[in-house]
Structure 1
Amino acid sequence: MVSEVLVRGMLYLSLSAVGVPGNLVVITAFLSVLYQDKRLLTADAIVLHLACVNLMVVAARCLPETLASFRLATVFSDAGCKAVIFVYRTSRALSIWLTFLLSAYQSLCVALPGSCWASICTWLARHYSLVFLILWLLNTCMSSAAILFSFGARNTSAPASHGINVQFCFVNFPSKLSKEANGAAQVGRDVVPMALMALASLIILFFLYKHSQQAKARRGGSERRAAKAVVALVTLYVVLYGVDNGLWVYTLTVRKTMGSSLMSDLRIFFSSLYAALSPLIIIASNRKVNGRLGCGVTVKVVKEQATGLSTV
């Protein structure tokens, strides 16, 4: 048991060690751009918001799990469990929807320039703050069950037959129906943006192929780099969150896993892995972030400023 807890703690520590500084680098870089240019491109604003919620995922779940695993701090009282699970579920869902929003915006920019769909892209560029607010309200409401049904492990001897053991906390639903309804809502909340962003990525790939068959347009290089980075983020999401949701469905349908924290640990690890690894893709592909890592050199791309596209 001691070795299992040690391995668990090391895994969460590794996610924290990668995810916290990685997301902080992305956030700092784009705040620097905002301070210097007094504005952010739409794609940059989405990426900045994505980095913030990914940082929340790692800070709200991986850091407390690390502290508890190594017995450095006791953060999982009833109130602590409610706060950790609520913030984690909300930020995790926002991470998913913001990745979809980024892929949808990029597909509109790449696939449909000059068409009637361009008006949607323009509207999104002008009202992305409103979209952020709607996403926050929606996902905050959908995560409210965590406040009602989460309890510290020390205050509950064992989860009910319709409960879930998440190692340091228990989530005890009042009935089997409420548990399954909550699980179905979470899966639906994840699967819908997954399907839509997969469609958006297919559109991006189609037009990348189409562009490769034609002469390079004046802004084609920047556009292709941005599109490829978004496709990489979506691919990472689909793989990791696909495993996460598969494990969640398994937890809901197989009774013998109800009292075990193994499935929950695996789910948290794979979903947190996206929050930890996605900033590495952003850092590697975004020239504005690279410019602020390379001895403070600011890279300004005139083409991007003119078209409203970001490298990610």
Structure 2
Amino acid sequence: MASSDMAMGVIFLSQTVIGLLGNFFLLYHYSVLYFTRATLRSTDLVVKHLTVANILIFLSKGILQTLSALGVNYFLGNIGCQLVFYVYRVGRGVSIGSTCLLSVFQAFTISPRNSRWAELKLHTSQYVGLSHSLILCWVVNMLVNSVVPMYMTGKRNGKNHTTKKDVVFCSVIRNNRFSYSLPVILFSCYDFLCLGLMIWACSSMVFILYRHRQRVQHIHRTNLSSRSSPESRVTESILVLLSTFISFYALSYLFTLWVTLINNPSKWLVNIAALITACFPTISPFILMSRDPRIPTPGSACCE
């Protein structure tokens, strides 16, 4: 095995282990809060679904990408490839949808009472309504991605196809350009819709926070401390999460498009695209934990 393949395998293994540990710890933390204190924010419900989706990403494609980088490629049959990519696509779609829902929900939450979103704000503040939206997100992604198994096959499959494109440990069937492009367009529409809503929500939250700080600036200088409110801290955490997602998504989309347009992409290019795609599921739990005062840090635990 080449040293470059070994290095890439170690990088994938480290990313998968760190991502799984971070998401499992965050999910465990919110579960403990729910069963012991029964005090969860509405945004915590979205974060729980986000962590579950991230875990599915690592358990499906993350582990297999690590094995493939280490040189183990021909271990999945047709059903294995179809199942892995279906679970991965559902997890990825729910991860994007949950992040989008989190941003839109928080934008409505911090909007002024006299804004045109005031009536919608009353509905989004309901825990049940948010739960139904998350369930709908799972159902939509499970239905939309049901076409994925039709285009996946194992590399050991001996059947002849018009066009067969390898994606490291599996292959994509491309019998004709139209049938292959249709699901790609469908998935892209979903991604761009969520991305557009995230950019709108991010811009709205920045504008609302800016105006709010302008109004209370003189109060902070006289009577109140400059400490931000819990709602502002949650909003700032979501803004950091959104900016991280948008940055990695844009970079991942460029590399994925590059891999798609090339007939025979190199293994190095495919690995880099997969590495960048998994960056957000790896980093997101640590961003949320670092900005949540309810999660004890090692330093605070030592001081108690």
Fold match, TM over 0.5? yes
1:160-180 per-position Cα deviation (integer Å, ceiling 9, x unaligned): 54x432101001133211111
Instruction: Sort the Cα spacing of 1:289 and 1:200 in 2 relative to 1 into closer, same or farther, 3 A.
Output: same
Aligned residue in 2 for 1:24: 24
Aligned residue in 1 for 2:80: 80
Q: Secondary structure at the match of 1:214?
A: helix
Residue 290 of structure 1: how far off its partner (Å): 3.2
Number of equivalences? 295
Aligned residue in 2 for 1:201: 202
1:218-256 per-position Cα deviation (integer Å, ceiling 9, x unaligned): 99521221111111111111111112222333344x3x4
2:255 to 239, 247, 262: 247
What percentage of aligned pairs have identical amino acids?
Answer: 21
Q: Secondary structure at the match of 2:229?
A: helix
Partners of 1:15 and 1:156 lie apart in 2 by 33
Aligned residue in 2 for 1:286: 292
Determine if the alignment matches structure 1 residue 234 to structure 2 residue 242: yes
Partners of 1:117 and 1:297 lie apart in 2 by 44
Q: List gaps (5 residues or longer) in structure 1.
A: 299-312
Residue 199 of structure 1: how far off its partner (Å): 0.7
Residue 62 of structure 1: how far off its partner (Å): 1.0
Structure 2 contact 73–169 (Cα < 8 Å) conserved? no
- Read off the aligned partner of 1:243 and give its amino acid letter: L
Partners of 1:80 and 1:29 lie apart in 2 by 32
Structure 2 contact 60–87 (Cα < 8 Å) conserved? yes
Greater Rg by CA = 2
Aligned residue in 1 for 2:129: 127
Deviating 4+ runs (over 4 angstroms): 71-75, 156-160, 216-220, 258-263, 291-294
**TM-score normalized by the length of structure 1:** 0.84
Structure 2 contact 111–117 (Cα < 8 Å) conserved? no
Aligned alpha-carbon RMSD (Å): 2.9
Aligned residue in 2 for 1:302: none
Partners of 2:47 and 2:28 lie apart in 1 by 12
Determine if the alignment matches structure 1 residue 170 to structure 2 residue 171: yes
Q: Secondary structure at the match of 1:290?
A: coil
Partners of 2:292 and 2:300 lie apart in 1 by 12
Partners of 1:111 and 1:133 lie apart in 2 by 25
Partners of 2:93 and 2:277 lie apart in 1 by 10
More divergent stretch after superposition (97-106 vs 74-83): 74-83
Aligned residue in 1 for 2:95: 95
Instruction: Sort the Cα spacing of 1:293 and 1:27 in 2 relative to 1 into closer, same or farther, 3 A.
Output: farther
Partners of 1:109 and 1:62 lie apart in 2 by 35
Partners of 1:199 and 1:113 lie apart in 2 by 19
Instruction: Sort the Cα spacing of 1:209 and 1:123 in 2 relative to 1 into closer, same or farther, 3 A.
Output: same
Instruction: Sort the Cα spacing of 1:267 and 1:2 in 2 relative to 1 into closer, same or farther, 3 A.
Output: same
**TM-score normalized by the length of structure 2:** 0.86
Q: Secondary structure at the match of 2:110?
A: helix
Residue 76 of structure 1: how far off its partner (Å): 2.1
Residue 127 of structure 1: how far off its partner (Å): 1.3
Q: Secondary structure at the match of 1:111?
A: coil
Residue 73 of structure 1: how far off its partner (Å): 9.4
Partners of 1:159 and 1:270 lie apart in 2 by 30
Residue 186 of structure 1: how far off its partner (Å): 1.6
